C-alpha cells in the first residue's frame, strides 16, 4: 500500500504542508469515519444518501482521468491504482473479484469496510462512497457510463461488502435494492 505513497511523492503528486494535504492536484482531508457516517445518516432521514454515491462517482472519475493523464497508465494499472487509493484512504481493502471486458462488468469486494464497521449491523448496505468509487473506476476503465449496486455488506451480516458494477441500463429496476441505491442518480 505504501508503494503508492512513494510513487505519488516521487511524481510530486502528494504534498503534505502545514494545513494542506494535496493528492493528484486535488485538496484532500482526513476525517474520522464517524463524521462521514453522521453525514450519511442525516441524508438517510430525507432519503438522500445517494448524494454521497453521486459525489464519489463524479470525483472518482475525475481522479481516474487525472491518474491516467499524469502517469500514462494502462487501464488495468489504473484499476489497481484506484484500489490502492481507496485502501490508502482507509475505506477498507478493495479486491477485484471479476472484470468482464466483453460485457463491461466488474465485481469488487471491500474487505474490512470502515463504514460498515462504524454503522454496525443495521440490516442494509451502507457503503455508498465506495460504490461511487467503484462505478467511477469502471467508467474510466470501460469508457462507458457505469453504475454500482452494493449487493452484500457487513452492515447486513455478510462477511464482506460487494459491489456489482455494470451499465445502468442492465440493472433490474424492479429489484428493491437497485431502486434504493440508484434512485435519483
118-137 pLDDT, tens digit per residue, is 999 999 999 999 999 999 99
Q: Length of the chain, please?
A: 185
What DSSP character marks residue 126?
-
What DSSP character marks residue 121?
S
Using alpha carbons, select from 170, 181, 108 the residue that is nearest to residue 144: 170
Is residue 75 pLDDT above 70, yes or no? Answer: yes
Question: What is the spatial distance between Cα 57 and Cα 171, in angstroms, rounded to a whole number?
Answer: 17
If you average pLDDT over every residue of the chain, what do you get? 89
97-119 pLDDT, tens digit per residue, is 999 999 999 999 999 999 999 99
50-182: CATH topology is: Muramoyl-pentapeptide Carboxypeptidase; domain 2 (3.30.1380)
Lowest mean pLDDT among 56-60, 74-78, 165-169: 74-78
Is residue 1 pLDDT above 60, yes or no? Answer: no
Question: What is the spatial distance between Cα 116 and Cα 119, in angstroms, rounded to a whole number?
Answer: 5
Q: Which three cell numbers stand for residue 50?
A: 445517494
44-73 pLDDT, tens digit per residue, is 999 999 999 999 999 998 888 777 777 777
The kind and range of the H/E element at 103 are: none
Q: According to the model, what pLDDT value does residue 167 have? A: 97
What DSSP character marks residue 171?
S
**Do the Cβ atoms of 34 and 71 come closer than 8 Å?**
no
Question: What is the spatial distance between Cα 44 and Cα 50, in angstroms, rounded to a whole number?
Answer: 9
The kind and range of the H/E element at 94 are: strand 93-100
What are the beta bridge partners of residue 27?
22
**Do the Cβ atoms of 171 and 149 come closer than 8 Å?**
yes
Break the chain down into helix, strand, coil percent, rounded to 5.
50, 20, 30
Amino acid at each position: 500500500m505504501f508503494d503508492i505513497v512513494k510513487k505519488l511523492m516521487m511524481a510530486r503528486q502528494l504534498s503534505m504542508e502545514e494545513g494542506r494535504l494535496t493528492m493528484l492536484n486535488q485538496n484532500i482531508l482526513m476525517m474520522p469515519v464517524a463524521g462521514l457516517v453522521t453525514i450519511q445518516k442525516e441524508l438517510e432521514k430525507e432519503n438522500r444518501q445517494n448524494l454521497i454515491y453521486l459525489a464519489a462517482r463524479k470525483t472518482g472519475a475525475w481522479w481516474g482521468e487525472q491518474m491516467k493523464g499524469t502517469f500514462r497508465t494502462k487501464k488495468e494499472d489504473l484499476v489497481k491504482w484506484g484500489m490502492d487509493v481507496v485502501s490508502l484512504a482507509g475505506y477498507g481493502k478493495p479486491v477485484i473479484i471479476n472484470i468482464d471486458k466483453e460485457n463491461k462488468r466488474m465485481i469488487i469486494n471491500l474487505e474490512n469496510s470502515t463504514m460498515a464497521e462504524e454503522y454496525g449491523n443495521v440490516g442494509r448496505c451502507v457503503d455508498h462512497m465506495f460504490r461511487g468509487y467503484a462505478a467511477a473506476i469502471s467508467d474510466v476503465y470501460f469508457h462507458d457510463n457505469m453504475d454500482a449496486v452494493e449487493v452484500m455488506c457487513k452492515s447486513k451480516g455478510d462477511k464482506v461488502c460487494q459491489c456489482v458494477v455494470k451499465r445502468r441500463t442492465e440493472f433490474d429496476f424492479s429489484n428493491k435494492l437497485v431502486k434504493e441505491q440508484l434512485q435519483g442518480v
